[in-house]
Every structure is written in C-alpha cells, then in structure tokens.
Structure 1
Amino acid sequence: MADREVATTIDALLGPDSPMNWGKWGADDEVGSLNYLDATQVVRGTRAVSSGEVFTLQIPIGLAGQPDPVWPGRTPAVRTQVMDEGFFARGDEPEPSDGHHWADDKIEMFTQGSTQYDALAHYWYGDKVWNGYPADSTIGELQRASVLPIAERGVVGRGVLIDIARARGKEVLDSGEPITLDDLLSAAKAQGTTIEPRDILIIRTGWIGSYYRTDSNEFYRDWNEPGLIYSRELVEWFQRMEIPNLVTDTIANELSFYPGGLQLPLHCALMRNLGVAFTEMCQLDELAAACAADRRWTFLYTAAPLKISGASGAPVNPVVIR
C-alpha cells in the first residue's frame, strides 16, 4: 500500500523486475497470454456447458435516448441513417424499376467506444509495448500487436464469473471502490467457485448496468471506476495462474486513478508485461443473475473482435453458453 501511495510513475510502481512474459511465445508473438487457450482449453470450455443457455455480453451501440457510455474524452457512437423509405417519399432517391426499396446507415465511433478488446500494444510505459516491440511501431497504426491478430485468432475457453457486487450485497460498486486479490479469491470462495489455471476471468461490479439506470452527468461525476487495484501479488497470481483474458463490466477493467496521479497501472502490468487480453464494457447483469440462480459460475466463453487492421481496439459481442 505504501508503495502505491508514494509512486508517481508506472515505472516506479511496477519496479525494474515486474513479472514479464516477453519472449515466452517467441519474438514475433502478438497475442500474448491468449496462447494459453489451446485446443485442450477449448474442449475444457465446452465441458462447462450443461443447460445450453446463451448470453451475449455487448452493450447496445446507438441506443435511442441515451448516449453510449465511453471513457471520458471519447465521444459516443453516432449512427446516421443514409437511406430509408423517407428518401423515396421525398423524391430524393429515384424509384427503381423493379420496385425494391432499402434502408442503409453508417456509424462513426471510437474503436473502443463499445464492448471491445484492447490490442496488446494499446497501452504502455517506457519506450516499448508488449513483447518488447518499440513504441514508435504505434505511429500511424499499430504495426505490431494490434487487435487484428486477436481477431484472427478468436478467443474460446472456460469462463468463470466472480460477482464482486453480489458478494458485497450491492447492485453496483461505488465510484473508486477497490478490488484486491484477497477480495477476488474471497468472493470466489463465497460462491463455491474455484478459479482454475487458464480460466477466462470475468469480474462483475455492476458498473455498466448502473449506467442505464443513472443520469449520464451523475454517472461521470467525480469519475473513478471501481475495479482491481495493482499489487505485486495480484500480478504474480495472474502470471502463475496463466490467466489469458480479463473481462469486466467497466470501461477500463481496473480502478481508474491512484494517489499521486497514476492511471491504469494494470494495463501495463498485465497487458503490456504479461500479454493478458483485456475485454471491457461487458453487460454482465443477466448472466450473473442466471449464475446466482443455480450456483453455476462457469461456462463456455467465446469472442472475436472485429478484424480492424492496425487498430488499438475493436468492438466485440462475446457469447457465453452455459
């Protein structure tokens, strides 16, 4: 705790010997800890299916009446109708000879403006990104470790949901409410759940679900998302457990800000250094309710972000099958 309070840079917080997976899968690797999800893990994931229930975890894009939740500084997606029946009614579009009509639209959005996967080179410190690639390889586009290799590979394995909000008797964690490794393991124990090596770890805080019940100005007031907080023990646990993918219902997967001005250190400790894939802004409330109802907290998790070349992230609609 003392180290976290006095550190003012990511480098100082993590130290010179932070756990690293660079080179573990070769000098050209671009998917990091997703390499743990081999065929054996896919089969293990399918064995967690028993009832056949399907849950999709993406939040809506362009929901009428409320802007999409995004990280402060980003703008919500804008969907524009570019063709519909009105164009024909106004005479803006010539009537086709065969009588067919159609609708068409487009979206302008941040690639990380919805439920999404981060590229491993999305966030870094020093002059290197994941696997030691130079930071200047991100100029213009991510030349290495973009989201494209993750999208091409796909993500399939056994998922395990740890419902921190439910464990604390809350609908949603408070702004800035931390989750330690002990909290995570205690909540799992209370659920009767064992987190196993190579599980896709899914953590529910209730945060994104609360957005749709809250005035957006109130939601963003005194912004500091709840979530996992950095500790050396947490990072070592992720490395030892070979966790391939961290999935949460927050916009950035971890506590936003620390004393001293630090921001998102786990993006560096887990993503940059260990190659853990980050999936953010998942809607987990319905899945959590189903898991709590029958006390089954494991399932098959599948996902593949959009194949956007050179991008720092891409939207995704993860599919969970219980």
Structure 2
Amino acid sequence: MSRNASVVNAPELDAAGFAALFERLRGRADWGEADRRGALNYITPSTVRAAMEEVRLGRSVSLAVPVSTDVTVDNPQPWRHEMISSPADHRDEPGVHFAFDRLAMNVHGNADTHLDALCHVIYDGKLYNGVQVDAVERDGAPALSVDVMRDGIVGRGVLLDIPRVREERWLRPGDQVTAADLVAAEEAQHVQVKPGDLLFVRVGHRRRRKALGPWDTASARAGLHPTALEYVADRQVAVLGSDGNNDTAPPSGVVDFPVHVLAVNALGVPLIDYLYLEDLRTLCAQHDRWSFLCVVAPLRIPAGTGSPVNPIAVL
C-alpha cells in the first residue's frame, strides 16, 4: 500500500459528522446505567482462558517505554527520580542500611507509557455512560477511576503493525490509520481481532524517535482516524493501545483528541498511550505470530484518572 493511500481515503469529519459518529458509537456501549467498566465487560473468564492458550514460545516482552528523567521537547515534565538515601551514603557504616528513592510523574504526558481510565475524558460536560462531571473532584475521581481495573487486565493481545503493511519504516506525523488499514493488517498478518482482545496499533513512533530524535508530539504525531473506532466497536475491543497517543495531530475534524473522546467517553474503551512495541514487533515477525497473552497491571490509585503501566506480552 502506498503511503498516501490511507490518508486520501480517510473521510473528512465536520461537526455534524463527528456528532453522529459519537452518538452511533455511544449506542454500541449499552451495559446499563450503573456500568462503570465499559469495554472491559468484553473480557470474561472464557476469554482469559482462551488467551492463556496463546502462549507457545514461553517468551515475555515489556511493552513500556523506559522511564526517563531527561527534559526533552516531547517530555517537558519527565519523571522525577529522587534518591532519598543512596547506597553510597552508607559506604563506611557497619551493619544493615537501606537505599530509598522516590518517583513522581505526569501521568498523561506525551512520552511515558500510561493507561487512561474512563474518568479521564470529559465531553460535553459528561463522562462515560453519562456520569456527571461532579463525580471528578479536585482531589481525585472516585467514579470510573483506574481503581476499577485493580484486579488487572488479562486477555488476548493482538499487534497490528501498520508501517509493515504499508512497507514503511514508520508513519509520519499527521498520518492517519483507518479501519481499512486495520483490516489490511489483519489479512497480511493472518490474525483476526476478536471480542475481548487488547488491540495494539503500531505506528512506528518510537522507531522514528530513536532515528530522528524527539519532536513536539503534542502538535505533530501519527494516530488513528476517528472513523477507525467503528472497527474497534465492531470487533468489541476491550483495550486499545498505540506506541503514539492513539490520536493524530493535528486532529482530524473539529474536535481535539477525537479518538480519546470516542474510545473512552463514547465506547468505554480504556486507552494505553505511548507503548513501546519494537521488541514485540520483532518477536512477532520472527515467528509470524501476532497474538499473545497480555497482562496489564495498573497501580491501585483509588481516585486516579490513569496510571503508569508496564504491560507484559507473553508469546
């Protein structure tokens, strides 16, 4: 597929078109008025047992970006790592001593791997499933918080490698992944996304960053076209993740972060932003296996809007 084929075929969305798409997708997420789990309802004991059967190689791979404390153009608020007490402090002291450190992060930055809870995205004054914004308080978000996922997310993961299908090293900032791209990747990789799957869409973000250096990803990045969320709904995806922000920048249409709005707010699909998919891509390509067991363990933050995560793929 040529680089511009998908972009040319990506439909333009005006305000009315986006509003209709939002309503259409919101109607697909009908778990009842009291629901707070969203698309995680697609994960069942049977889907978890089936995911266990994906393990053939006995190989585990991290899908998280290494923690960085360096200030860069795409990470102006990096992790803060402070040594409270280092091993060197006790160099000449007899007996037992301990090293201590402390970490702090901007959970929803543009560089670190993190999970977006369903309380993260407010659209037209409401959260997922019509929950009022009053549920999100100044000291946290008790409704729809990341604590809903405290038992972890375990399921079948699927990697769809869009640059591989387009025969490119990476997608360029502004490029958009359409539903047609996702179907083409399924066909090329001989894999099909099933209900309850964790879908990871590679755009080549980290590979481009390694080759060319960091850039202002807040204003320029590859991601999904909003209409690709119809595919996500059709496949009954439980979790959506990407090695970028999932959203394209500049955004497609009249709404900022349209994929976040449609996934989190309309469909109740938790998002994982800024994954590291290069090691997984290599292993999957070597063995021509693009599905695997995946475990995501967010921190237990009772009122958190998200959490750093280190998803693990087991092939």
Normalising by structure 1, we get a TM-score of 0.85
The aligned amino acid for 1:318 is: P
Aligned to 1:236: 230
Task: Name the larger-Rg structure.
Answer: 1
The aligned amino acid for 1:293 is: Q
Aligned to 2:98: 102
CA distance in 2, matches of 1:192, 1:22: 27
1:130-141 mapped onto 2 (5 Å cutoff): 130-140=128-138, 141=140
Q: CA deviation at 1:59?
A: 1.1
The aligned amino acid for 2:237 is: I
Structure 1's unaligned 5+ residue stretches are none
Match of 1:14 among 9, 15, 19: 19
Match of 1:253 among 227, 246, 255: 246
For 1:184-222, what per-residue CA distance to the aligned partner results, in whole angstroms no more than 9, with x for missing partners? 111221122222233211111110243344333xx2278
User: Cα–Cα, structure 1 residues 56 and 21, in superposed 2: closer, same or farther, change >3 Å?
Assistant: farther
Q: CA deviation at 1:35?
A: 1.0
Match of 1:76 among 75, 78, 89: 78
Aligned to 1:35: 41
Q: Does 1:278 align with 2:271?
A: yes
Q: CA deviation at 1:3?
A: 4.9
Native 8 Å contact 1:22 1:131 kept in 2:
no
Match of 1:206 among 204, 211, 214: 204
Aligned to 2:67: 61
Q: Percent identity?
A: 28
1:180-191 mapped onto 2 (5 Å cutoff): 180-191=178-189
Aligned to 2:7: none
Q: CA deviation at 1:27?
A: 2.7
Match of 2:298 among 297, 302, 305: 305
The aligned amino acid for 2:277 is: L
Aligned to 2:144: 145
Native 8 Å contact 2:296 2:310 kept in 1:
yes
- The SS at the match of 2:25 is coil
- The SS at the match of 2:185 is helix
Native 8 Å contact 1:147 1:311 kept in 2:
yes
CA distance in 2, matches of 1:75, 1:199: 32
CA distance in 2, matches of 1:23, 1:239: 8
User: Cα–Cα, structure 1 residues 100 and 2, in superposed 2: closer, same or farther, change >3 Å?
Assistant: closer
CA distance in 1, matches of 2:142, 2:162: 37
User: Cα–Cα, structure 1 residues 223 and 69, in superposed 2: closer, same or farther, change >3 Å?
Assistant: same
The aligned amino acid for 2:47 is: Q
Q: Does 1:164 align with 2:162?
A: yes
CA distance in 2, matches of 1:57, 1:36: 22
CA distance in 2, matches of 1:164, 1:304: 26
CA distance in 2, matches of 1:165, 1:195: 18
CA distance in 2, matches of 1:189, 1:29: 34
Native 8 Å contact 1:22 1:132 kept in 2:
no
Native 8 Å contact 1:155 1:304 kept in 2:
yes
CA distance in 1, matches of 2:230, 2:68: 39
Name whichever of 262-271 and 283-292 sits farther off: 262-271
Native 8 Å contact 1:160 1:202 kept in 2:
yes
Native 8 Å contact 1:3 1:13 kept in 2:
no
User: Cα–Cα, structure 1 residues 220 and 163, in superposed 2: closer, same or farther, change >3 Å?
Assistant: same
User: Cα–Cα, structure 1 residues 260 and 248, in superposed 2: closer, same or farther, change >3 Å?
Assistant: closer
For 1:18-48, what per-residue CA distance to the aligned partner results, in whole angstroms no more than 9, with x for missing partners? 3225873333322210111010000111111
- The SS at the match of 2:24 is coil
The aligned amino acid for 1:177 is: D
Name whichever of 235-244 and 305-314 sits farther off: 235-244
Structure 2's unaligned 5+ residue stretches are 1-9
Match of 1:51 among 46, 51, 57: 57
Aligned to 2:4: none
Q: CA deviation at 1:111?
A: 2.3
Q: CA deviation at 1:280?
A: 1.3
- The SS at the match of 1:247 is strand
Q: Does 1:318 align with 2:281?
A: no
For 1:130-164, what per-residue CA distance to the aligned partner results, in whole angstroms no more than 9, with x for missing partners? 111101221312121011112x1311111111001
Match of 1:192 among 190, 208, 226: 190
Match of 2:287 among 290, 294, 308: 294
